[in-house]
Structure 1
């Protein structure tokens, strides 16, 4: 009998509890919860394969690792054209070995950077003519415009559309006050969308700056205002995800006290 979405989520939850890192990303979880018909699932109670579009996920329960189940799940996958991608959430040596043996190339690194809330730098003064406020209904079109422009070359974030925005804003963690926006008249110039995962953990979810406003310090402004918002709601630690080759963003976050451990590297493999 085929695995249900509920069984897939249970396996993913159990794996996260052991590994300390979620094996499925947010977009995958949203698809499973809201559009399960878009997902192809195979496997059994030991682990599963999951294909959504051209993104593959393979997840094996801890007690069933080391016996070739990951390879079996990969070989049981439906037709995977060149360009199919798969993430290893954590730079897992077993995943790297499987990818190499099956002809997949290491193509991206996504870093997790972290810092405690204690000792945050002060937020800079808001420049004259700039209005900073939380999200309000009616901001959606400008938010999507700036997001598309800021992430035009980002394969996941840049594709965010109205439906995806509504989906994320329907999640229990969303609060309008945690989506910091910076305006010049009726034009949105920058935003920082924060995410509170728990009472103690917060995230720099998305920081976007309109390319026409680059160089005005607005990215640093909204980032710091968002960090102070997370501090005000009581979190103790903050993390973020950043592309490993995005040197300007890495430097910005390092300057704000974020650091990275070697284990905090997510790797994307692409079928060649």
Structure 2
């Protein structure tokens, strides 16, 4: 755990590192913040567990939990690879300096891990957290959008391009889907994920469902994929990944795969589907042409850490 001697946690709080067993309590904390901010939870429970088992993340030194005198979890932070971070404070404990103290800890841990720049993603509506980051020298550098499409009627599928076949995702497609999506994302992402890290946040999620996901083939080569999640306790479908191989773009494959996934959700009783995209992918216009609109936005904020 990073040195806490220079931080400003109030004496009434207890601190410790997280373990995988804390995933449920962390989810409840994150859900409380999201209910206040968005009106409902936005993060799936298994996403929290996936974060705690990311390759390269050691919970003993890369996470911090904050408990009040009633032994309730009221704050948390994690740092992955000295580059990415997250900080959450329970709404009932805001205004007590916990956010600043957790940010101090995250920056100290990132420097300790050799990080030169630290980033954190915040919703545009989280004005207090955005104000804190801006006051500490963080600047937005990526814009993200949650897109949605309403489906009052069953989506109609366009015909496949010549030589292209589409089917639901099947067991055994995992490695091909990994290579396809990471190759596509290499055009904008800063770091290529290992298969293990990618899988923990896609096909190994409890909410991943192959029947709601679609893949496209040219012969026996996968050239497109839409990977979808069946999130419980919601009336919406969610698309986690969209990718088409570079040499097969602009042929209508992405539209066909999205419509296939949308139709599968519709047949499950979902009348809305959502997905996230961001400014570095250049895909916003594609989704808008399919009929999706922006529901809300967020931004990734970054700061050069320097040496202290």
User: Which residue does the alignment assign to 1:258?
Assistant: 292
Within-5 A mapping of 1:80-229: 80=110, 81-119=115-153, 121-155=155-189, 158-159=192-193, 161-162=195-196, 164-165=198-199, 168-198=202-232, 200-229=235-264
- Alpha carbons of structure 1 residues 48 and 140: separation in structure 2 relative to 1, 3 Å: closer
For residues 31 and 171 of structure 2, the distance between their equivalents in structure 1, rounded to whole angstroms, comes to 34
Within-5 A mapping of 1:29-108: 29-32=49-52, 37-38=58-59, 39-44=62-67, 45-53=73-81, 54-77=83-106, 78-80=108-110, 81-108=115-142
1:267 aligns with 2:299: yes
Note the C-alpha offset of 1:235: 1.1
Local SS of the residue matching 1:85 = strand
For residues 174 and 192 of structure 2, the distance between their equivalents in structure 1, rounded to whole angstroms, comes to 15
Query: Which sections of structure 1, spanning at least 5 residues, go unmatched?
Result: none
User: Which residue does the alignment assign to 2:3?
Assistant: none
For residues 184 and 130 of structure 1, the distance between their equivalents in structure 2, rounded to whole angstroms, comes to 5
For residues 119 and 157 of structure 1, the distance between their equivalents in structure 2, rounded to whole angstroms, comes to 40
Note the C-alpha offset of 1:204: 1.9
Deviations 1:2-48 (A, max 9, x none): 26442433322322333335479976541326777344214333322
After superposing the two structures, state which structure 1 stretch, 46-55 or 15-24, moved more: 15-24
Aligned residues: 269
Note the C-alpha offset of 1:173: 1.8
- Alpha carbons of structure 1 residues 163 and 28: separation in structure 2 relative to 1, 3 Å: same
After superposing the two structures, state which structure 1 stretch, 29-38 or 222-231, moved more: 29-38
After superposing the two structures, state which structure 1 stretch, 170-179 or 251-260, moved more: 170-179
Deviations 1:83-129 (A, max 9, x none): 11111134422222211221112111111011222146521012332
For residues 68 and 151 of structure 1, the distance between their equivalents in structure 2, rounded to whole angstroms, comes to 38
Work out whether residues 31 and 42 of structure 2, in 8 Å CA contact, stay in contact via their aligned partners in 1: yes
Work out whether residues 155 and 263 of structure 2, in 8 Å CA contact, stay in contact via their aligned partners in 1: no
Local SS of the residue matching 1:127 = coil
Q: What TM-score do you get using the length of structure 1 for normalisation?
A: 0.86
User: Which residue does the alignment assign to 2:5?
Assistant: none
After superposing the two structures, state which structure 1 stretch, 139-148 or 151-160, moved more: 151-160
